[in-house]
Structure 1
């Protein structure tokens, strides 16, 4: 197939699903990667033949490698990968924090990003491709005791390092850094905050930029 191909983690809802919709509207083939088989297949049915459901665990490198290999077998290429999957914590701060929650979050927010990049890099080197990472406003400022924020500081630092690494083969890396977004990440709706579609538009802006233009970071905040 000639259409460019994008792999998205955390694709079953929120920012991942919105980015899949936006990318397919722009003519991309999209690999939808998440643990929720029912949600993935429902989204793929909505989006049509350009959507490829890929059930797997973002914290498992072999799972991501197998999913990307399956996607490339179907589409013939991988042009971009979006390390979007992430999670938060129920208890804020260090003293009140739950070490088991920290470990689970780090496996998703840090190792999950590393595994997406590690699995995707050989394909992206071949295509002079593009990495997108979901950062956060919490990774651009200090929040008292925030272990979650520290995980996003990792994403921002790693994204900058990747941008320099990928220059060697003409690739690009963009950190998409939103403030509060109205997604299932929060227990209560946040209708006055950013919507997933706002973040998806930022992701597509980076992906569709002329190859001469490396957009290293997009920082977007709700107006309210």
Structure 2
């Protein structure tokens, strides 16, 4: 059955790979990110019948609201929301970190994520849909002083709280927790890391479960 997926952080990496996997599976996608050029290129690749580009800074509440409205208007409904937008650290730990980077990470990885989830709920209650959040292996380990890791601990706990809130309303919640992924997130290649397509496969697996099944948390780590 064809579904409509709303994906943040969709212009590259995990988000773009998930969009490709979704369209390959017969679904339609609403693509949200700041990079309009990259989104438009992805729409051209996927086809305008299957994808819509919605340039948006996810920390801007009104912009996210407009993006959700545009997606619902274009496709009629929203069946799944993948809150995937995220930002990494520019320095190591708290002592070696940058304060401005702390603020931006918290704005994107926590505040913007909660906005995406809040705006998603009305649509997903109607469709009995699925809310997915990008967490991290960093939320299953202690990384000394890591503000980034702490933001992902927030995602882990928040996903569990959302499950408790939404389960009786027929909305599934899944926290996708990848280990290191070879994406533009890093300044240099990571040959032993996961590929974005690996994480996209985990997203599609969670989405493909019968309505009676929910996978609250899905870990996907590289072998080395």
Q: Structure 2-normalised TM-score?
A: 0.98
Partner of 1:17: 16
Matches of 2:150 and 2:133, distance apart in 1 = 15
Partner of 1:221: 221
Matches of 1:119 and 1:62, distance apart in 2 = 11
Shift of 1:75: 0.5
Matches of 2:183 and 2:66, distance apart in 1 = 28
Answer whether contact 1:77 1:123 (CA < 8 A) is retained: yes
Partner of 2:187: 187
Gap regions ≥5 residues in structure 1: none
Partner of 2:146: 146
Shift of 1:62: 1.3
Gap regions ≥5 residues in structure 2: none
Question: Structure 1 residue 60 and structure 2 residue 60: aligned?
Answer: yes
Answer whether contact 1:61 1:119 (CA < 8 A) is retained: no
Matches of 1:43 and 1:79, distance apart in 2 = 21
Answer whether contact 1:163 1:216 (CA < 8 A) is retained: yes
Matches of 2:212 and 2:2, distance apart in 1 = 20
Q: Secondary structure of 1:108's partner?
A: helix
Q: In the TM superposition, what are the counterparts of 1:1-224 in structure 2 within 5 Å? A: 3-48=2-47, 49-224=49-224
Q: Secondary structure of 1:101's partner?
A: helix
Q: Which portions of structure 1, spanning 4 or more consecutive aligned residues, are displaced by more than 2 angstroms?
A: none
Q: Secondary structure of 1:173's partner?
A: strand
Matches of 1:89 and 1:58, distance apart in 2 = 18
Matches of 1:191 and 1:66, distance apart in 2 = 38
1:65-105 per-position Cα deviation (integer Å, ceiling 9, x unaligned): 11010011111000110000101111111122211110011
Matches of 2:67 and 2:90, distance apart in 1 = 30
Matches of 2:165 and 2:134, distance apart in 1 = 18
Shift of 1:209: 0.4
Matches of 1:210 and 1:55, distance apart in 2 = 32
Q: Structure 1-normalised TM-score?
A: 0.98
Matches of 2:190 and 2:95, distance apart in 1 = 28
Matches of 1:118 and 1:171, distance apart in 2 = 13
